[in-house]
Amino acid sequence: MPNLNVQGVTKRYGKFVAVNNISFDAKPGRILGLLGPNGAGKTTTIRMITFITIPDEGEIRYGESMVGEKSQEKMGYLPEERGLYKKMKVGEQLMYFAELKGMGKAEARDRIRYWLDRFGALEWVGKKTNELSKGMQQKIQFIATILHNPSLLILDEPFGGLDPINAELLQDVIMELKDEGRTILFASHRMEQVEQLCDDICLISKGEIIVKGALSDIKRQFGKNTILMDFEGPDAFLDELVSKGAVRLGSRSTRHAELNLLGGTTPKQILEMALPHVSNITRFELVEPPMREIFVTAVSRQQSQQASTTV
């Protein structure tokens, strides 16, 4: 199955540069996490890949040829802001989406049955959309995205509105689709899911790519600089560490803390600081930073750099 190749792409709206000269690849059988703060340019990028809009500069190729009407039929796009025709029946609606993707009726009918069954939704086929709950609509939308057997999937927040059981079902299906060799673009703000699902990462901020590569490589680059600590007793020492500038707290609860080592602080120093205060330590581990940490660090670094260059 083909590669998706984004090469030097820029998109402007009037004077505003939404995406500035970005390049990345998405490979078959892998999930690429497309990350970034709100308004970073993710949706703009996705819309150019799906051929909804066209880049001002640069080119986007899927396989040998530029994206266009041909590649649209091989793509399945689940937008973040999504909806269905309220008064159409589930079956008719899915059939319409399949026909728009150029699918034959008989084949579409079989696949609609298969996927509705897979998501335990076969009995909804004759129901109108506005009779369904939000979670049910969510599943129907996902089915609409994969119905035509696309080799490139673009999923923008696919887990929104799903309960844990359905989220797990969806995750299984996504992994299955990946194992079949499809290329998957996954945009999300939920870093735990990104961490669980993604093989590669592309982090965009203010229209530019600031971090890009395999998730494991990126983590290694950032180094083992995070301590996960579970303890019992008072936690005032954490505030002391922060005020000294020795660490930054990633997350914190009554008996757990995630500390990022700053300015050459060593794990040993942390341990020495903690011991006099706490009554017990049940976990003390040096790990690679979680995705959330990489996200925050990279974005704030870029923004402070931009602030200093504009002054």
Partner 1 sequence: MSRNKIFVVAKNEFLKRVKTRWFVFTTLLGPIVMVGFFTVVGIVTATSLETNEKVISLRDETSRLESEFVDPSGKITFKATDSSDDELKKLVLSGDISGYLVLPNGLIEGTESARYYSTEGGGISNFSGDLRSIVRDAVRLVRLEDQAVSREVFEIINANVSLDSIQLSDAGEEQGSTAAYAIVGGIMGFLIYITMLVYGSVVMQGVIEEKTSRVVEIIISSVKPFQLLMGKVLGIGAMGLVQMSFWAILIAAGTTFSGAIIGLIGPPTGSNLPDTATQAEILDSIGFTIPDLGPEVFIWFVLFFLMGYLLYATLFAGIGSAVEQQQDAQSLMLPVMMPIIVSIMFLQAVLEAPNSTLSVALSLFPFTAPIPMVVRIAMIDVPFWQIALSFSLLVGAFLGAVWVSSRIYRIGILSYGKKPSLKELIRWLRYA
Rounded to the nearest angstrom, the gap between the alpha carbon of residue 172 and the centroid of all alpha carbons in its chain is 16
| Options 40, 75, 155, 211; binder of partner 1; rule CB under 8 A | 75
Cβ distance to partner 1 smaller for residue 187 or 238: 187
Show the binding pattern over residues 148-187: x = contacts partner 1 (CB under 8 A), - = does not.
Answer: ----------------------------------------
Amino acid at 290: P
| Listed ranges 24-32, 44-52, 170-178, 185-193: which one lies at the site for partner 1 (CB under 8 A) | 44-52
Q: Is 54 in the site for partner 1 (CB under 8 A)?
A: yes
Give the C-alpha distances (Å, rounded to integers) separating 310 from 73, 303, 304, 306: 44, 11, 10, 6
Edge-first strand order for the sheet with 208-214 is 75-78, 152-156, 183-187, 31-35, 200-205, 208-214
Distance CA 197, CA 31 (A): 7
Q: Is 90 in the site for partner 1 (CB under 8 A)?
A: no
Cβ distance to partner 1 smaller for residue 13 or 114: 13
Convert 248-275 to b/e letters by CB count within 10 Å (16 or more is b).
bebeeeeeebbbbbeeebebeebeebbe
Q: Is 96 in the site for partner 1 (CB under 8 A)?
A: yes
Distance CA 238, CA 170 (A): 39
Rounded to 5 degrees, what are φ and ψ at 308? -75, -35
Residues near partner 1 (CB under 8 A), total? 31
Q: Is 114 in the site for partner 1 (CB under 8 A)?
A: no
Cβ distance to partner 1 smaller for residue 94 or 274: 94
| Options 24, 62, 97, 231; binder of partner 1; rule CB under 8 A | 97
Which residues are at the interface with partner 1 (CB under 8 A)? 13, 47, 50-52, 54, 56, 69, 72-73, 75, 77-79, 81-88, 96-97, 99-102, 141, 144-145
